[in-house]
Structure 1
């Protein structure tokens, strides 16, 4: 049989023309499907872009409408709010607002509510806040008296810190551990009437728990927890460590309170717990009294976290800056030698005689401030400020770097320059714009203690040692790490005794 083009063979099969036609039809169908897919994708992208655009326009419109009565400031973003500003130095006009406790109250976020159970004194207000602050101030004044005064305890602890540095014998050491231990032990001495040996296991756990509690407040978990509190409560992660570390510190404190209650009553109170328990006894029949053991434990917890972190971070930065500015370090030492002479003890009252040293400490805190922001509060009622209506519930988040690094207020805001706190004759000048600790009623018990500690520890260390980088180190990283605090990178220094360098 002759096979003809276009005819079927007996064996079955298709002609060449049929194959071409089928291939052409298949190719055409596939192209059509691809064109339809591209068309649908294009439409989908168009509608998505349109939806995003409309949502963005609506957000900006709502934002403008809500913010039209507020002072000018950085743009808050969806979900994140103003958290994106953390760690970024923004320069803008600022409003100085006088702190008025009756006009504001703490802002308790879902994370803080879960961690503190809304019992910490940092987040209290009204009658509770006033009573707890009252006993704190009264106790601070009483602890200033006698041989076991708070200042005397700080001087003893400062000497303990000097001895710990001396054990390194001029070899490189990481100052974080001895500094943290000394600052934490100072709180123990003031609150409980005694310090702990460094090798004590319960004390080591206490310092670690305090560190974990502070770190949790500045981590990304804080933001996620506030966005999805119900979900984050059920998931494992750093938030669980925050809860357990706070509980562990409170357990430690409550054990000490129990010991104070079990021992025989003293004729004279010796420490913070003693004074508080006496006040509790005096006020037990007063229905308006807010004094109880839970608030006592919370008060000491706040002392541990706030004062320990503030002082330890500032002192670490101080040693970094002294090692990187040896000329300033030498001026501090020479001033102390000239003013204090052969006396080895340094009292907090000596700050009035040491203007340059005092200026250096203030400049350390200005350029390397420990906390990025203070406790966030919110208006308890509608308030009119400079013609702007602040509705009840408006959050107040003080932006420290807008003041401490304001180029209009400081000659060289980005530069470490102690002259910012000195007049032309070399006398110390307290600056109105140095608002690190707030003002008036805003200053807490922990912050008053931190001031005394920082001066005493810094002066004692600079009097005893010359700090320098190890020979193998090229330079120290002076850029901060960002958490709840702005703390320095891990580093080592050599503490050279001054009698070896003279």
Structure 2
């Protein structure tokens, strides 16, 4: 080896060593600047705590850390500090007692990429308040109008029941049908009509939603959110996701343009038309939030969230009925006693069906659909629990820590409706039921979701008994993936028409 080769090797060694020292110094500088952040495990330069966690199930890592560092701690996702809140009292203190300070929405790269920072889900401050106020009012108006939400859901349940009948004795995967039925409810509110289950455009829209949530809940999604500047230049499923979302945005824009041509400003028929009316009213106002970008992203937020969360809960609930047939039988006895077979279930029936109500709540609690909720961010520098959390810091409320707390539930680690039943058999409410979140950013569609879950669930069990293609002990009720959210496992089942 000649002297130039030796010098080259030595130079590279010195350069690499120098860069490592620089990275360590930068990391220490960041930690010094954030010295009043809550404590947490020591991060590595650039990657943070990545190598210490399972990116497929990060919430389990957070639960483990909370046992050491307490109810407020800091982890580093890449080069960014993230404050995690654990336990009911701490989450309540943050999201309710100091709700305004914790009400921001963090810059989560995947969410920001598909929404461009517009819409209900990712906006903060004045924009979020304006859009949320409008959306709550609009959804309420359509729910209390000529056709109530209850009537829409009951009608859709009849289409779903008929579709299930066609399978007869054949085993099938109920995922698509459940997704179609749930999606049609929010679609009818946002777009003003329902679609046939075999409509190609409908299938495309639902495929975009499915890919979106699967990517968010995968390890690839976690890595993209940590290192977006790297991942966006690499091949991967995110490119297909973003292309599908681009086409969906075009679809929404086209629907809006068509409505604008014949817009009845006195009687809007759906969410899009109500938004367009406000756009016309505030045309020319330089700071108006009623612009196309907020319309398109808000429609996506409502349609995607209103489809995936409720359909996943129903799908998992029916799997649990197959795993625990005695629970299914007891629900059906309650249905027979309260509703019978000659009429459809109604929302008013719920108050007389404590066991069914308890089962639906327990399905949501035990599946823990969103272990860390959608990330929040601090709206200003805030003192909390003796620490100083800087403005714009990402905050993760660890909902799993509440929904699985043995101090709050009779049997936290198993599916057990007794968690929501009093000794006399009546339904027992719990403040620790945080399936829809807590505080100012609580799920906008909570009322709709509760209504859908009860009406669809009871309508299906009124007409059918669900059974698995596997022995009970082999039915796997664990989620298929569980990063950003939990995606229920796909399965095949049989349905038997009840006499």
TM-score by structure 2 length? 0.82
Cα deviation for residue 319 of structure 1 reads 0.7
Given that residues 169 and 495 in structure 2 are in contact (C-alpha distance below 8 angstroms), is that contact kept between their aligned partners in structure 1?
yes
Moved more, 399-408 or 211-220: 211-220
Alignment of 1:497 with 2:497, yes or no, is: yes
Given that residues 384 and 390 in structure 1 are in contact (C-alpha distance below 8 angstroms), is that contact kept between their aligned partners in structure 2?
yes
Cα deviation for residue 51 of structure 1 reads 11
Alignment of 1:154 with 2:153, yes or no, is: yes
Counterpart of 2:487 in structure 1 is 487
Given that residues 215 and 484 in structure 1 are in contact (C-alpha distance below 8 angstroms), is that contact kept between their aligned partners in structure 2?
no
The structure 1 segments of at least 4 consecutive aligned residues displaced by more than 4 Å after TM superposition are 50-68, 70-83, 285-288, 471-474
**CA distance in structure 1 between the partners assigned to 2:373 and 2:432 by the alignment:** 15
Describe how 1:112-131 pairs up with structure 2 within 5 A.
112-131=111-130
Counterpart of 1:42 in structure 2 is none
Moved more, 364-373 or 78-87: 78-87
**CA distance in structure 1 between the partners assigned to 2:452 and 2:283 by the alignment:** 34
**CA distance in structure 1 between the partners assigned to 2:163 and 2:388 by the alignment:** 55
Given that residues 314 and 369 in structure 1 are in contact (C-alpha distance below 8 angstroms), is that contact kept between their aligned partners in structure 2?
no
Alignment of 1:98 with 2:98, yes or no, is: no
SS in 2 for 1:170: coil
Question: CA-to-partner distance for each residue in 1:456-497, whole Å, 9 max, x for gaps?
Answer: 211211111111112678721112121543223321111111
**CA distance in structure 1 between the partners assigned to 2:48 and 2:349 by the alignment:** 45
Cα deviation for residue 206 of structure 1 reads 1.0
Describe how 1:360-375 pairs up with structure 2 within 5 A.
360-375=359-374
Would the alpha carbon gap of residues 151 and 79 (structure 1) be closer, same or farther in structure 2, given more than 3 Å must change? farther
User: Size of the alignment, in residue pairs?
Assistant: 458
Moved more, 485-494 or 306-315: 485-494
Question: CA-to-partner distance for each residue in 1:325-358, whole Å, 9 max, x for gaps?
Answer: 1111111111121111344312233322222111
Question: CA-to-partner distance for each residue in 1:410-450, whole Å, 9 max, x for gaps?
Answer: 12111111111111122222211111212343223334332
Would the alpha carbon gap of residues 104 and 75 (structure 1) be closer, same or farther in structure 2, given more than 3 Å must change? farther
Would the alpha carbon gap of residues 61 and 233 (structure 1) be closer, same or farther in structure 2, given more than 3 Å must change? closer
Would the alpha carbon gap of residues 62 and 417 (structure 1) be closer, same or farther in structure 2, given more than 3 Å must change? farther
**CA distance in structure 1 between the partners assigned to 2:177 and 2:148 by the alignment:** 23
Cα deviation for residue 56 of structure 1 reads 11
Counterpart of 1:20 in structure 2 is none
Cα deviation for residue 396 of structure 1 reads 0.5
Alignment of 1:208 with 2:225, yes or no, is: no
Cα deviation for residue 285 of structure 1 reads 5.5
**CA distance in structure 1 between the partners assigned to 2:308 and 2:206 by the alignment:** 11
**CA distance in structure 2 between the partners assigned to 1:51 and 1:424 by the alignment:** 67
Describe how 1:44-55 pairs up with structure 2 within 5 A.
none
Would the alpha carbon gap of residues 357 and 226 (structure 1) be closer, same or farther in structure 2, given more than 3 Å must change? closer
Structure 2: segments with no counterpart, 5+ residues: 2-13, 72-85
Given that residues 476 and 491 in structure 1 are in contact (C-alpha distance below 8 angstroms), is that contact kept between their aligned partners in structure 2?
no
Question: CA-to-partner distance for each residue in 1:281-314, whole Å, 9 max, x for gaps?
Answer: 3333655431123212211100122121111111
Describe how 1:405-484 pairs up with structure 2 within 5 A.
405-470=404-469, 475-482=474-481, 483-484=483-484
Task: Give RMSD over aligned pairs.
Answer: 3.3
**CA distance in structure 2 between the partners assigned to 1:80 and 1:361 by the alignment:** 40
Counterpart of 2:233 in structure 1 is 234
Would the alpha carbon gap of residues 220 and 487 (structure 1) be closer, same or farther in structure 2, given more than 3 Å must change? closer
**CA distance in structure 1 between the partners assigned to 2:469 and 2:339 by the alignment:** 29
SS in 2 for 1:143: helix
Describe how 1:178-327 pairs up with structure 2 within 5 A.
178-263=177-262, 265=264, 267-284=266-283, 286-327=285-326
Would the alpha carbon gap of residues 66 and 314 (structure 1) be closer, same or farther in structure 2, given more than 3 Å must change? farther
SS in 1 for 2:153: helix
Cα deviation for residue 408 of structure 1 reads 1.7
Structure 1: segments with no counterpart, 5+ residues: 1-32, 34-46
Question: CA-to-partner distance for each residue in 1:146-189, whole Å, 9 max, x for gaps?
Answer: 44222211111122111111111132110111011112222211
Moved more, 259-268 or 69-78: 69-78
Question: CA-to-partner distance for each residue in 1:210-246, whole Å, 9 max, x for gaps?
Answer: 1112222233333443454344333332121121121
Would the alpha carbon gap of residues 299 and 239 (structure 1) be closer, same or farther in structure 2, given more than 3 Å must change? same
Cα deviation for residue 318 of structure 1 reads 0.2
Question: CA-to-partner distance for each residue in 1:362-395, whole Å, 9 max, x for gaps?
Answer: 1111111222321112212111122222222322
Given that residues 464 and 497 in structure 2 are in contact (C-alpha distance below 8 angstroms), is that contact kept between their aligned partners in structure 1?
yes
Would the alpha carbon gap of residues 314 and 297 (structure 1) be closer, same or farther in structure 2, given more than 3 Å must change? same
Would the alpha carbon gap of residues 428 and 71 (structure 1) be closer, same or farther in structure 2, given more than 3 Å must change? farther
Given that residues 469 and 475 in structure 1 are in contact (C-alpha distance below 8 angstroms), is that contact kept between their aligned partners in structure 2?
no
